[in-house]
Amino acid sequence: MNNEIIYSVVAIGIGLLMVIMAVIAILNKKLSVAIIAAGVVSLFASVLFLLMSAPDVAMTEAAIGSGLSTLIFFYVLNKIKRQNA
Amino acid sequence: MLRNLLIAIVLASFGFIFYNLYQSYEPQTELTGIAAHYAENGASEVGAANLVTAVVVSYRSFDTLGEITILFLTAAIISFFLKLSKEDEDKIITHRGTSEILQTASALLIPLIYLFGVYVFINGHITPGGGFQGGAIIASGVVLAIMANPNMTINHTVIIWVESISGVSVILIGVLGIILGGGFLDSTFTGYGLGEFGTIFSAGTIPVIYSLVGLKVGAEISNILNLYQKSQKEA
């Protein structure tokens, strides 16, 4: 029973952090901060998947969601900045 | 004003829908239907210790074939749009210089990351992970290599051959399933046995298929990242 309470608290905490990061990603004026925040949402999501005992999904989310897609966003941002300069 | 009102209406209707879902939600205490069949017979029919892999590569392998095709299409479209002209291709990116720490660490870490990616897709039927995850891990090793040396080029011929051969081999093994097994992409060949449960050489053709998928995914994502890196040369 005690374990279950700790588990719920951790899960709710990660969920709240995800919501906060998502709001930062939407509202922040600096695009680089927004990209990092969106990557952190994916990172917390992968931890949540792991807590829900879905390690396969967690691995995909961590590698693709928070790793590779963040990087591709930065490449595109860099290209847009250079073309506008 | 009108915009905010519309956003409020959309949020309220979402809230209504999710509240109704939450109200009618009852957690299931036991597996039902086809999930129960997979959980009960997965080990004896497919022989994979990781039930997720058993579903992805054996029971639902046709969906996986679709995913592989989608990823191939994405890579093809990206390479079509990011094609560079000859002059841009020969340009050298001027950068501030990568740090000593990154260069030294990447020399140590890149082989380990590749090795871990290969481990993940070879052991896809025993431990969590598989072809897609392993391929993504290999691609993240390529990311580190590109970061340490921004002017690095990946050998295009090798990528194309690895990708094509592994893609064709997956289909060929699938066709082999029609002849030796129960149908297209069947992972168990009749008369060959499943091997000892929980060892690397078990679960029929699942390790072979997942290794090929891993190579294919790794090659495709590495190619996409290399193209994005090259596209920075264009002004």
Residue A76's closest chain B neighbor by CA? B228
Average pLDDT for chain B: 85
> Per-residue confidence at B92, pLDDT binned at 50, 70, 90?
confident
Please report which confidence band the pLDDT of residue B48 belongs to, taking 50, 70 and 90 as the band edges.
confident
Interface membership of B234 toward A (CB under 8 Å): yes
- Partner A contacted by B64 (CB < 8 A): no
Question: What are the two backbone dihedrals, phi and then psi, of residue B182, each rounded to the nearest 5 degrees?
Answer: -95, -5
pLDDT category at B235 given cuts 50, 70, 90 is low
Nearest to A79 among B143, B221, B231 (CB): B231
**Helices within B24-155 (DSSP H only):** 33-45, 51-53, 61-81, 86-90, 100-122, 131-148
What pLDDT does residue B186 have? 77
Q: Do B143 and A78 touch (CB under 8 A)?
A: no
Catalogue the long-range contacts made by B63-66 (C-beta closer than 8 Å, 24 or more residues apart): B64/B213, B65/B170, B65/B171, B65/B174, B65/B185
Q: Which tokens go with A48?
A: 């949540």
CB B170 within 8 A of CB B185: no
pLDDT mean over B64-88? 86
Report the alpha-carbon distance of residue B119 to residue B111 in Å, rounded.
Answer: 12
Domain edges within chain A: 2-84
State mean pLDDT over B116-141: 88
Instruction: Write the pLDDT tens digit of every residue in B147-175.
Output: 888 777 788 888 889 889 998 998 888 88
User: Hey, are the CB atoms on A56 and B229 less than 8 Å from each other?
Assistant: no
Q: Confirm or reject contact between A59 and chain B (CB < 8 A).
A: yes
Query: How do the domains of chain B map onto residue ranges?
Result: 48-231
Q: Sign of the C-alpha dihedral, residues B144, B148, B150, B152?
A: negative
Q: What are the residues whose beta carbons fall under 8 Å from the beta carbon of B53, sequence distance 6 or more?
A: A56, B124, B125, B130, B203, B206, B210
Q: Concatenated DSSP letters for chain A?
A: -HHHHHHHHHHHHHHHHHHHHHHHHHH-S-HHHHHHHHHHHHHHHHHHHHHTT-HHHHHHIIIIIIIIHHHHHHHHHHHHHHHH-
User: Would you call B133 and A60 a contact, using CB atoms and an 8 Å cutoff?
Assistant: yes
Contact with chain B for residue A29, Cβ under 8 A: no
* Model confidence pLDDT, tens digit, residues B188-221: 777 676 777 777 777 778 888 888 999 999 999 9
Query: How many Cα atoms are found within 13 Å in the side-chain-facing hemisphere of A39?
Result: 17
Q: Which residues of B touch A82 (CB under 8 A)?
A: 232, 235
**Whether the predicted pLDDT of B126 surpasses 90:** no
Q: Residue A79: list chain B partners with CB under 8 A.
A: 231-232, 234
Select from A56, A78, A79 the Cβ nearest to the Cβ of B133: A56
Cα–Cα distance for residue pair B131/B61, rounded to 1 Å: 13
Q: How far does the CA of residue A53 sit from the closest CA of chain B (Å)?
A: 10
Could you tell me if A71 lies within 8 Å of chain B, comparing CB atoms?
yes
**Mind listing the pLDDT tens digit of every residue in chain A (85 residues)?**
678 888 889 999 999 999 999 999 999 999 999 999 999 999 999 999 998 888 888 988 988 888 889 988 988 898 888 888 7
Chain B residues closer than 8 Å to A75 by CB:
228-229, 231-232
Does the pLDDT value for residue B184 go beyond 90? Answer: no
Using the predicted structure, report yes or no on whether residue B25 has a pLDDT greater than 90: no
Model confidence at B27, in pLDDT bands (50, 70, 90)? confident
What's the pLDDT tens digit per position in A2-13?
A: 788 888 899 999
Supply the angle between the helices B100-122 and B206-231 in degrees, to the nearest 10: 150
How many angstroms away from the CA of A62 is the closest CA of chain B? 9
ipTM over 0.85: no
